[in-house]
Structure 1
């Protein structure tokens, strides 16, 4: 019985030409397990079974917001885009619309129809990141009930298509949108990317976002979502960003002011950007062989107690990211994890392995549709067990070396921890001095600037923009000349040393909020006393 409650029954006519009854005398028919007889004589016709549109309901079920947006960025790269802008648009502090806009080659009407067709596999070029033909739909329907695509090719009419998940899951229907609406979208794209050519993917009727009525909770959810997305894109595309092949910006703003918003660049987060190896002789290439195929595993050991972006990713400790880092055309497909060839442990947290051989994908490794991890096939796991470096180092001995580096590192005297880099508001000499005394986290930077606040405030922490605002009402007390962006160096240096830890976390925790309230109260009282002592 099948899902529609009906059976498919094959009828064989006795004595029919070409049937088992007409098999040559003495010829034995194949016998399969269970004693059933199957041969080509049993085929009476071939039918085409079309997919049921209801499968759309399960599309993207395993996509996170981060992996879904990254999948859309893959499409942008395949279209030759050099700039991608991700817009997270809110209303009443809640996420209501996501847009991914690129300056790629764009699509005409025919290409747009194919892009919206489930499972359509175009002819992929050697450098393309697309693979399955479902990425756009799966990524979108994993998080939204309505997918709209606007696209323009140079000197061609702009096009628009819209799919409503509820309709698409019934009959794969897609709406063709007007040329006027598509031209309006192209004008918006030009304001965002600098060119009308390209594609805009828009998600509306979102699912899986914060739905409560607590404004603080909504803002916290939004801040965490942006931070996680920024980190994920920064590490996934770190090679392309570092090579200046790709520029990604993220905009978070109220939907009414989207056209006026300014994007913040995504910075590359290199998971191998350590200052020096944690073990002499590393990184080291270990070669795994399977038949005629060789795969090189570049084995790294991070230095112990270097907790910088790259080791720490998305606010999580580096121990969460030990394992394999698998690349395909400079795009990171797997961020850590041992894929059942080793076990995670605290002592192995310095061990990271690069696999950068796309010929292994499809033969020794199997990629999932979300491009968020790969399955190591049994033949590859067997090959790893016998893999060796030129000096005889095996995979197991590499793991032991990483464990030894961790243990030895914990015996050493503690060093100064890296701090967020100072940027706007700090003079070059002060920035250089801070960098000479403390290792810096270059994934983000702290600004200390002036703006007008209420009279009872001296400081305001803008966590999302990594900025400490000072009340310009009292600027004359510390910078009488008011002549420079980099004024009041002593005040700013003290405030940097006091507050930098707040801006280095993944979010504002209870302790951070309590410290901010404490600093604000004491500094506000102090500046009032300062003003009174000067007779102002």
Structure 2
């Protein structure tokens, strides 16, 4: 078979990437992903009208020169390659495509171990230079890293032809500043979990960091946190977490201002729906994925769905990380959560605030333990839907919830009846663990190892504890291996 080289024209291909369909706020969010993935704790975004540039500067780990050149390649990552839970990228073209949707030139200046390097793409020159990066000997860009000499990265976008019309500077300036407002609102939502849980600071033309906007209004004690659910896909080894919330009635807010804030900057009706998170980064929100139509009575219903990057193909996550499709295997499970959540929302919406959190179908207060059957064996589990437990969880951040979950697993597995033979008397035989259950158990073990490690327990303590948990007896060799690999 004959092979004939067919290299695309650089100018035409790069110009076509500008038509992917980014909004300005989605483009800035995509570039911000790189800063978060680099471990940045501060990100400074500046819209400079006088110099007609936009800069995104972070104090992340930075890049060595060869790393920079690799990451500036168009398509620098394989979308099918497994990514870490901290990696927010996918196709390896997001930053470049996002930048091109704003302007014709993108320059990246980065410092690692005190060594500063730079590289740029310029669409005005690419026809002449082809697939070659521009590297400048001029030190003018180094000033963007002032105070970040050891490590950090600056993305500078110039020739902002997609935002600024040189023939109409008055309208362009008005539009330019409207973009700033939209970007602030957008990033406060998209990265709200990083801001509130990790202490990430994002500054936009200000010395004050933007505040996280929690769409689930968990700070209000009248918010209802409904029963959560974990759905395992044994074929693709993915887990999906579904957590529905029902916001309080207007009368349950402390002020008109707090109520308006809870509605969201697009209004309560547009903010109702499903919020899909990938590695804690919000991908899409305010949609019911065509399961139902939006109704005013559903405006208090918001459902959080968490997935990992390994589920990208299932959800058809696009380049912009702003579109997704509900997988078929999850459709009925999500539909059930939607129906329950919107029913509760309608009840609260029509109640004028005179409602109680207790459902007529809620279990009694003493329903702390429940007997469950799994793969032929009976055991006892803590009732994870108990109102008091949910109230405690609601007051915790993600780290606290993970620690609480780990502690409850210890309570379940080290309860006296798990070690004195009571449970075995009701079991009919040796349990058979299907593949999906094994995958879930291994994922839980990894989480417990992380929690125990962060709390300062020794390798031997962690291994001994896990090996004595009846739920994981059949995974003895796996436990030993995971502890060795992690510690």
Residue 207 of structure 1 is matched in structure 2 by: 161
CA separation of 1:167/1:187 partners in 2, compared to 1, >3 Å: closer, same or farther?
Answer: closer
- 1:263-278 aligned at under 5 Å gives the runs 263-276=207-220
- Deviation of 1:219 after TM superposition, in Å, equals 5.0
**After superposition, where does 1:426-465 map in structure 2 within 5 Å?**
none
Q: CA deviation at 1:407?
A: 2.0
The answer on whether the counterparts of 1:286 and 1:299 sit within 8 Å (CA) in structure 2 is no
User: What are the superposed Cα offsets for residues 359-405 of structure 1, whole Å, 9 maximum, x if unpaired?
Assistant: 672353121111113121333324434x5xxxxxx542332222222
Matched, 1:105 2:49: no
1:309–1:163 CA distance, 2 compared to 1 (3 A): farther
Partner of 1:86: 45
* 2:13 counterpart of 1:55: yes
One of 48, 66, 77 as aligned partner of 2:25: 66
Please state if 1:164 is matched with 2:109: no
Following superposition of structure 1 onto structure 2, how do residues 192-271 of structure 1 map, counting pairs within 5 Å? 194-195=148-149, 197-211=151-165, 217-218=171-172, 220-251=174-205, 263-271=207-215
Q: How much does 1:131 deviate? A: 1.3
CA contact (8 A) 1:288 1:294 kept: yes
Residue 307 of structure 2 is aligned to residue 357 of structure 1? yes
SS of structure 1 residue aligned to 2:180:
helix
2:269 corresponds to 1:311? no
Which of the pair is proportionally richer in strand? 1
Rounded Cα–Cα distance in structure 1 between residues aligned with 2:192 and 2:170: 32
Aligned-pair distance for 1:202? 0.8
For the residues of structure 2 that align with 1:368 and 1:318, how far apart are their CA atoms?
Answer: 26
Q: Give the CA deviation at 1:323.
A: 1.1
Question: 1: CA distance between counterparts of 2:126 and 2:291?
Answer: 41
For the residues of structure 2 that align with 1:380 and 1:169, how far apart are their CA atoms? Answer: 47
Q: Identify if the C-alpha distance between structure 1 residues 126 and 109 changes in structure 2 by more than 3 Å, giving closer, same or farther.
A: same
1:159-204: CA deviation from partner (whole Å, max 9, x where unpaired): 12121124446732321111x42xx43343225xx54521111111
Q: 2:241 aligns with which of 281, 296, 303?
A: 296
- 2:85–2:279 contact (8 Å) kept in structure 1: no
CA distance, structure 2, for counterparts of residue 310 and residue 270 of structure 1: 10
The equivalent of 2:276 in structure 1 is 326
Superposed CA offset, 1:291-323 (max 9, x none): 56653310111112256465333x321211111
CA distance in 1, matches of 2:22, 2:66: 28
Sort the Cα spacing of 1:360 and 1:137 in 2 relative to 1 into closer, same or farther, 3 A. Answer: closer
Give the secondary structure class of the aligned counterpart of 1:299: strand
Kindly indicate whether the alpha-carbon contact (under 8 Å) linking 2:76 and 2:92 is maintained by their aligned counterparts in 1: yes
Aligned to 1:400: 343
CA contact under 8 A between 1:57 and 1:169: conserved in structure 2?
Answer: no
What TM-score, normalized by structure 1, do the two folds share?
0.58
1: CA distance, partners of 2:158 / 2:37: 24
How far apart, in 2, do the equivalents of 1:218 and 1:48 lie?
Answer: 43
Whole-Å Cα distance in 1 between the matches of residues 229 and 159 of structure 2?
49
Equivalent residue pairs, number:
341
State the Cα RMSD in Å: 2.9
Q: Give the match for residue 500 of structure 1.
A: none
Could you tell me whether the CA contact under 8 Å between 1:189 and 1:196 is conserved in 2?
no
Could you list the runs of 5+ residues in structure 1 that have no partner in the other structure? Answer: 1-43, 252-261, 388-393, 413-536
Secondary structure of the equivalent of 1:325? strand
Whole-Å separation in 1 of the counterparts to 2:7 and 2:167: 44
Q: How far has the Cα of 1:110 moved from its partner? A: 1.3
The two structures have a TM-score, normalised by structure 2, of: 0.63
More relative contact order, 1 or 2 (CA 8 Å, 6+ apart): 2
Partner Cα distance (1:329, 1:309) in 2? 28
Q: Aligned with 1:81: secondary structure?
A: coil
SS in 2 for 1:361: helix
Aligned to 1:121: 77
The DSSP-based 3-state class of the residue aligned with 1:364 is helix
Q: CA distance change for structure 1 residues 284 and 155 in 2, over 3 Å: closer, same or farther?
A: same
Partner residue, 1:430? none
Bigger Rg over Cα:
1
Structure 2 unaligned runs (5+)?
A: 356-487
Closer, same or farther: CA 275–74 of 1 in aligned 2, 3 Å = closer
Per the alignment, do residues 150 and 296 of structure 1 end up closer, same or farther by CA in structure 2, a change over 3 Å counting?
Answer: closer
Tell me if structure 2 keeps the 8 A contact 1:319–1:346: yes
Alpha-carbon offset, residue 218 of structure 1: 4.9
Q: Is the 8 A contact 1:270 1:310 kept in 2?
A: no
Question: Structure 1 pair 45/409, CA: closer, same or farther in 2 (3 Å)?
Answer: farther
Which residue pairs with 1:154 in the alignment? 113
